Amino acid sequence: MLLKVENLHAQVAEDESKQILKGLNLEVKPGEVHAIMGPNGAGKSTLSSVLAGREDYEVTEGHATFDGEDLLELDPEDRARKGVFLAFQYPVEIPGVSNKLFMQTAVNAIREEKGLPALDMFDFDEYAQSKIELLNMRKDLLDRSVNVGFSGGEKKRNDIFQMALLEPKLCILDETDSGLDIDAMKVVANGVNSLRSEDRSFIVVTHYQRLLNYIKPDHVHVLYDGKIIKSGGFELVHELEEKGYDDIIQAHNAIQTNSK
């Protein structure tokens, strides 16, 4: 098991009234692609943030283990070094810091963790160029400041480019499809598909099914009110497409009421 999340409860840090995750369970095996879908406000982005270790959220109950280790105890950079990658819903701009410097520092930090020697400038350049082609990124990407002056789509692609460079074990895509036009989405999907392998898993968090038509998930979960209320295979995507979230939510609520 690569990732095992049990009964996870989380709230906005220092604000008990804002309980967002209310007992979430999830298991991801190596090589699997999971899609987490849900309406706005269900807790999708909170789940991504909590797994990556953002301090804005506080875990109040439950566990999460990654590769057998307690994930929740680790600092964000240590989670990254162990192979957790988050593609941000809103990738951050860092004025003045070039992509090259940024990613070389990151790649070497992760190589250090794996016990590999650091890449020097030439090796890194060569390595980066191959990925730039793969993702059809602009040629001057490396010389530009991280995400500064990038369009929304470029920022998302840059995150996928970083994912390709860091070769993580678990990739969490947080609403990566939002704001992408169809061409950009194909590029992102191609990038993701080319990275799919037996020992790399994905959690694709999204509101819509359209990205999932390009990245076919093995498992689909519906997140609502801080919990996974329904799981299934790819057919669930089509069900949602046809009926929307309301049906599933109503069915779920009915069960809740009956059991009380």
Strands 84-87 and 3-12: unpaired
Of the two residues 37 and 86, which places its CB atom closer to other proteins in the complex?
Answer: 86
Q: Which of 7, 25, 39, 94 binds other proteins (CB under 8 A)?
A: 94
77/181 with CB nearer other proteins: 77
Scanning 16-120, the segments in alpha helix (DSSP H) are 44-52, 76-82, 99-113
**Which one, 132 or 212, has the nearer CB to other proteins?**
132
Binding-site member from 25, 145, 213, 231 for other proteins (CB under 8 A): 145
As measured in angstroms, the least distance from the Cβ of 107 to other proteins is 8
Q: Does position 202 bind other proteins by CB under 8 A? A: no
Q: Does 86 engage in binding with other proteins (CB under 8 A)?
A: yes
- Write out the two tokens for 216: 């076919």
- Closer residue to other proteins in complex, CB, 159/225: 159
CB 160 within 8 A of CB 128: no
CA 133 to chain centroid: 23
Residue 220 CA to chain centroid, in angstroms?
14
Q: Is there binding between residue 182 and other proteins (CB under 8 A)? A: no
Q: Interface with other proteins includes 135 (CB under 8 A)? A: no
Q: Is 119 in the site for other proteins (CB under 8 A)?
A: no
- Do 188 and 157 touch, CB atoms closer than 8 A? yes
Longest Cα pair distance anywhere in the chain, in angstroms? 65
End-to-end CA, the chain: 34
The nearer residue to other proteins, 113 or 218, going by C-beta atoms, is 113
CB atoms within 10 A of CB 90: 14
CA 51 to CA 54: how far, in whole Å?
8
Contact between 68 and 156 (Cβ < 8 Å): no
Identity of the residue, 24 or 80, whose beta carbon is nearer to other proteins in the bound complex? 80
Question: Residue 170 or residue 212: which is nearer to other proteins going by CB?
Answer: 170
Element (H, E) at 251: helix 235-259
Q: Kindly tell me which residue out of 103, 141, 164, 204 binds other proteins, with binding defined by CB under 8 A.
A: 103
Bridge partner list, 173: 87, 204
Q: Determine the Cα–Cα distance for residues 121 and 56; give it in Å rounded to an integer.
A: 35
Handedness of CA 205, 148, 163, 114 (dihedral sign): negative
Among 14, 15, 17, 96, binds other proteins (CB under 8 A): 96
**According to CB under 8 A, which one of 45, 46, 89, 104 is a site residue for other proteins?**
104
Which one of the spans 1-9, 59-67, 104-112, 150-158 is the region binding other proteins (CB under 8 A)?
Answer: 104-112
Which range of residues in 5-13, 87-95, 126-134, 244-252 is near other proteins by CB under 8 A?
87-95
Binding site residues, other proteins, CB under 8 A:
52-55, 75-77, 79-81, 85-86, 88, 91-98, 100-106, 109-110, 113, 118, 121, 142-143, 145, 162, 166
